[in-house]
Chains A and B, each alone.
Chain A
Amino acid sequence: MPVSPSVASAPVAEASDPEAAPRHVVIDAKGLNLTFDTADGLVHALSDVDLTVREGEFVSFIGPSGCGKTTLLRVIADLEQATGGSITVGGVSPADARAARLYGYVFQSAALLPWRNVLANVTLPLEIFGVPPAERLERATRNLELVNLKGFEKKFPWQLSGGMQQRASIARALAYDPQLLLMDEPFGALDEIVRDKLNLQLLKLWAETAKTVIFVTHSIPEAVFLSSKIVVMSPRPGRIIDVIDCDLPRDRGLEIRESQRFLDIAHRVREGLRAGHSYDD
């Protein structure tokens, strides 16, 4: 049974924002559609997606595979083009936003270049942007420190653990100080202990840099733990089922996962996924 659009606009925990002043809209999507013309026929990857992301928010896209969460992220990044509807990123089209290097993209795997050491990997985008060498070094060093990779500058990617590689790739995305950080299941390939640690570091980083983060995941606890807003998505066609404000205190530790508020939000995410038939087969 298709879910009525009213679910998406159902009352959510409002007024979670401590500051009353409305923040700038970073991403504004209206009626976004994307169909892929594949060998097996048309695939409706995104169907009538409406989404607003404001400055400084940490927004998670959650849903089963095939729900279009990665596709939506790629549309924002101009790696995919929507076939219908409108979207602006930082007030301009995704293509212009990409050309203006408005965002940093962190992929599911670290995607470090194996022939460059950690430092040279982090300076790579700066080289491409034509930043002078001294500044490249300064920025890369600062960002490697931010992700706790100081002292590993001269190591090559294969000499690093998976978690360290992913941290290096986050430093690379931060090196040119984009206002928007797009993360596509960045910790999906890591074990849970490493993932917990990186989640904590990511929260700290978010607090320190005040960036807008969009985070794709298929883990309910991860989404609830990290986010200020959770976008629940559902497959066939890929659409938004629910948008949940996650009003946990910003300064949160791992223990918050046992609190009632955390469990309530997680429950609501699960309900949304169920309503979207995410558990059916």
Chain B
Amino acid sequence: MTTERASPSLLARLLQGPVLPVLVMVGVLVVVWYGAAIALNAPFARSMAADPAQFGFADLVEATLSQDRPVLPAPHQVFVELEKSVFELPVTSKRSLVLHGWVTLSSTLVGFGLGAVLGLLLAVAIVHVKSLEKSLMFWIVSSQTVPILAVAPIVIVVLGAIGITGLVPKAIISAYLCFFPVTIGMVKGLTSPERLHVDLMRTWDATPAQTFWRLRLPASVPFLFTSLEVAIAASLVGAIVGELPTGAQAGLGARLLAGSYYGQTIQIWAALFAAAVLAASMVGLVRLIERAVLTAMGGRR
């Protein structure tokens, strides 16, 4: 029947689309994870067994997957912790991941904004002033070879000494990480117009500003979004790293640090997952905006 061919069944679409491979991968990972959790938590479980002789495999599995502070928590433990700390606890609770996530997200977004603007301005300067390319580029690349873990405490301490604490220092560390991909991507994007188009603007005696707004900037939009995707993920890493050296009270980084102080491995993993979900949603949001913008700019490029 032709109609069947025109609209394939849900199952057929599932088999063809990306859904099935992703599900299979997730399934494999969960199985591996459970295996690893049993193996890694086994020594402690055995040592705690009242009667090692009676301790069978079923007991071992049960014991390894329900420890309070396992070496590697089982997926369901992390899931339960996530559910509790995201949905059940009030947002004001010190254990609420919504609270900690928001603290980290706010400095991520401020840092991302700062970094993107800085990266953009640097790219514009480099593209328009030839001598800047050689002088600035060296420092821009060098800045990224310095480990952020070494820079972060310095920024926190120095800014703390002059009374700036909280969101701003973390946002600055975020910006430090995320301006780089924006600068590199936008230098490429702003110089991407063909010779032909540049000549065309010249035949109209267009000013550099007119050429920038009407040719260089629109031509660089695909490059901009690719860099922003990288930048926003880097920005989150920066915000979390910025929360580590201060012994910050709040934020996903603080949660990770507190978890490792007290051996709360389930808490660490839950914070880790929250960070991953946050990063994925931000990248996804950038992609959605990208799609909308490129569609408005004529669709096919």
> Measuring CB to CB, which residues of chain A are less than 8 angstroms from any residue of chain B?
77, 79, 98-99, 101, 103-105, 107, 109, 111, 113-117, 124-125, 127-129, 156-158
Contacts and interface: CB of A to CB of B under 8 A. Distances in A.
Contacts of A125: 204
B298 A156 contact: yes
Contacts of B205: 98-99, 101, 128
B100 to A, nearest CB: 41
Interface residues on B, range: 20 to 34
Nearest to A169: B200
A158 B300 CA distance: 7
B298 A79 contact: no
Contact of B214 (A99, A109, A114, A128): A128
Main SS class of interface, A: loop
A117 B298 contact: yes
Interface string B196-233: 11011111111000100011001101000000000000
Contacts of A129: 204
A9 to B, nearest CB: 32
Given A79-B202, A105-B203, A111 B196 contact: yes
Contacts of B206: 128
Contacts of B210: 128
B203 A116 contact: no
B298 A115 contact: yes
A98 B299 CA distance: 34
B297 interface: yes
Interface string B175-195: 000000000000000000010
A156 B301 CA distance: 10
Nearest to B196: A111
A168 to B, nearest CB: 13
Given A98-B202, A107-B199, A158-B298, 12 more contacts: A101-B205, A105-B203, A107-B196, A114-B298, A115-B219, A115-B297, A115-B301, A124-B214, A125-B204, A128-B205, A158-B299, A158-B300
20 contacts: A77-B203, A105-B200, A107-B199, A107-B200, A109-B196, A113-B197, A113-B214, A113-B218, A114-B297, A115-B219, A115-B298, A115-B301, A117-B298, A124-B214, A125-B204, A128-B201, A128-B206, A128-B214, A156-B298, A156-B300
Main SS class of interface, B: helix
Contact of A156 (B215, B219, B221, B299): B299
Contact of A113 (B203, B215, B300): B215
Nearest to B201: A128
A114 B301 contact: yes
Contacts of B199: 79, 105, 107
B204 A115 contact: no
Given A114-B298, A158-B298, A98 B214 contact: no
A113 B200 CA distance: 11
A103 B298 contact: no
Most buried by B among A79, A114, A156: A114
Contacts of B300: 156, 158
B200 A116 contact: no
A107 to B, nearest CB: 6
A101 B196 contact: no
A21 B210 CA distance: 42
A157 B301 CA distance: 10
Nearest to A124: B214
A103 B204 CA distance: 9
A116 B301 CA distance: 11
A103 B203 CA distance: 8
A128 B203 CA distance: 11
A79 B203 contact: yes
B72 to A, nearest CB: 50
A89 B221 CA distance: 38
A116 B204 CA distance: 17
Contacts of A109: 196
A160 to B, nearest CB: 12
A107 B200 CA distance: 8
B192 to A, nearest CB: 12
Interface string B275-301: 000000000000000000000011111
A241 to B, nearest CB: 28
Contacts of A107: 196, 199-200
